[in-house]
Amino acid sequence: MAQTQQVKDLAAARAKTSFPVIDLTRYIHGSDEKIARRKHLASLISNDPDVKQGLAMSLRLYQLKEEHNLTQEEMLVCMDFIDEYLPVSLHESAFIPIIYAQGSDEQAKYWAPLAEKHQIIGCYAQTELGHGSNLSQLETTATLNRDTDEWIIHSTTFTASKWWIGGLGVIATHALIQARLIIDGKDFGAHGFIVPIRSLKDHRPFPGVKVGDIGPKSYGGFAKIDNGFVRFENYPIPRENMLMRFAKVTREGLYVKPPHSKLAYGSMVLLRSHMVRGAALTLARAATIATRYTTVRRQFNVPTSRKDASNPTLETQVINYPMVQSRLFPMIAQVYAILAAGNKMKSMYESMLSELMKGDISSLAEVHAISSGLKSTCTTIAATGVEDCRKIMGGHGYSYFSGISHLWSTYVPSNTYEGDNFLLTQQSARYLLKQVKVATTDPEKVTPFSKYVIKTIDQDAFQAERCSVETVNDWLRPEIQLAAFEHRAGRLVGDLAIAAMQEGMVWSDLNQECWRLCHAHSQYVLARSAVESVANVRDQGTAKETVKVLKRLSDLFALHTIQASLGDYLEDYYVSPSQCQSLRQQIKNLQEALADDVVGLVDAFDFPDHFLNSALGSADGNAYQHLWDAAQKEAINQVEVVDGYKEYIVPILTQYGAAKL
């Protein structure tokens, strides 16, 4: 069969790539051995006829682990390639890691093997019917009974019912719940407890436990995961089921405080740090589909500066229109910046965890603040970007077969779970205000990503700062880019500090200021991570062409982000009108420079077609043929006359008599 024009177009675009694609695949996924192993794991999922739905998927996943002797990390990769949140997802991503992170050595030794062999299945239960983000006001209580040496777990009202808990509706035998710890009437706040939910003999709920599924979710998302509820009625569990790596309660009922009040946030830091890289890969999928489809989609024979000399009589490729480039290319740059920040976040979390195990809490506050801010900023970018990719693809993007709708409906809840994206910004803002206080008393103790607040102490000098750009190419200097991000975040933290000190000011009235500051700080972290990542790649001796394209992506991310927030820079005259003009010009220059590389940039993500699940974004570019084939497989197209013809269609056609044509 002759090649379609779409196949030819994608192949031609791929051939223009200026850098070795494998270099960036290594940058994203690691060594050649890891890349090969990842491909093998993807093939296990795509070629397995028994990977089906929900519970069946969960069972088959564990069978594959045993059949192929997969490590825990490899099994998690397989879970990613299944591309559904499974009933066991939180068991693997939260229940087991939190046992290790917050359980004592003895507890980890007892509980973790049971969980890793899935002899018990767990979930993480924090959210309640009446409370989610407000951990201090959770209504579930754990009251110590000294006589029996037990905790009495109780839902004090029906709104204390745990709600939205993944895995709880059907499969979980245990839940790691957050409940307010009470001894002799004194409330010590929320702590973690391992709570048996269903019998290991017959899976029936224990007396005092009412558990079930909360029902279908919005947009058809999370269809394979059993989000559930549980309500407790004076339900006893052993005292030893309280996670006791940090806070402890003795047999005598003595509460031993943790070394830091925020240590309980460690589990949230873990989940949020994973979500940063997850945001990058989610947006990467959407950008891959949109890039490939707009490369093969041709509409209107309107000349652009990107001449298609080999096909002068054909319509223009959609990706060659500057308006499409200005929407799509910055999203690809965002992916690479978030990947860089995700690597940084992972490193910071692992370092913090190692320190916590030794009783060192010095890095906890910064890691918690950065993870909160990045979770909010990155998941917002990704969810918005996935929908923008659908719009870029035009009408066909709305088809389920584009792969975008399923991706979006599954991902968009990330803006709410593990901390509402608007509410989370207050945590980062509070932390930065504390850093301002530290800067005034002991500047050496200001944490690494907050050093810019030191400059705000001398307000006269700070307010006199101006962007040093003189020429268009000055915008490509990393020190100028980062100085701009630092100035913006520094001014906003200063403004918030002044507002917070006003007599009669209520903190909740500053929500919008917190939101602006948090995103300014998070964008600085993203930009700085991208800049540092380029420097690291350069130092590792990577091909010059690869370093060049990464540098362009870093530049485009920084400048596009600055442009989107120009109002903040113009408020205090940090950027001049002429600099605004040169900024826009440099962004256009970068988009033009990247145009030949975007197909290679998305190929580097190394997503198999099975995982993309997109008729329009397949690697061969044969979009129209794949879309046609997908429609032909629909059940409704397997018959010439549909069910309901006689019952409904005939009466409609003959309501006023049969037509005589």
pLDDT in tens, 140-185: 999 999 999 999 999 999 999 999 999 999 999 999 999 999 999 9
Q: Which domain holds residue 214?
A: 120-262
228, 174 in Cβ contact below 8 A? no
pLDDT band for 218, please (50, 70, 90 cuts).
confident
Q: Of the candidates 262, 296, 323, which is a domain's last residue?
A: 262
419 is in an annotated binding site: no
Beta-bridge partner residues of 174: 122, 196
Collapsing DSSP to helix, strand or coil, 211 comes out as strand
Tell me if 35 is assigned to some domain. Answer: no
DSSP-derived secondary structure for 433-485: HHHHHHHHH-GGGS-GGGGGGGGGGSHHHHHT------SGGGGG-HHHHHHHH
Question: Which helix (DSSP H) or strand (DSSP E) does residue 538 occupy?
Answer: helix 511-539
pLDDT band for 1, please (50, 70, 90 cuts).
low
Residue-wise pLDDT tens digits, 220-242: 888 788 999 999 999 999 999 99
The candidate with the shortest Cα–Cα distance to 288, out of 618, 622, 629, 626, is 618
The candidate with the shortest Cα–Cα distance to 191, out of 149, 123, 135, 150, is 135
Residue 56's contacts (CB-CB under 8 Å, 6 or more residues apart) are 50
Place of tokens 């940084």: 344
* Number of residues in the chain: 661
pLDDT at 421: 85
- Predicted model pTM: 0.93
294 vs 603: CA distance, rounded Å: 14
341, 526 in Cβ contact below 8 A? yes
In the structure encoding, which two tokens stand for residue 347, read together?
Answer: 């490193």
Residues 208 and 344 in one domain: no
Question: Beta 174-183 vs 122-125: how paired, if at all?
Answer: parallel
441 is in an annotated binding site: no
**pLDDT mean across residues, the chain:** 92
pLDDT at 372: 92
Question: Which helix (DSSP H) or strand (DSSP E) does residue 271 occupy?
Answer: helix 266-296
444 among known catalytic residues? no
The active-site residue, picked from 418, 479, 571, 634, is 418
pLDDT at 217 over 90: no
Q: Of the candidates 601, 630, 653, which is a domain's last residue?
A: 601
* CATH, residue 448: 1.20.140.10
Tell me if 5 is assigned to some domain. Answer: no
Tell me if 16 is assigned to some domain. Answer: no
pLDDT at 360: 81
* CATH, residue 249: 2.40.110.10
Residue-wise pLDDT tens digits, 518-537: 999 999 999 999 999 999 99
Residue-wise pLDDT tens digits, 288-304: 999 999 999 999 988 77
Tell me if 343 is assigned to some domain. Answer: yes
Query: Residue range 301-330: average pLDDT?
Result: 89
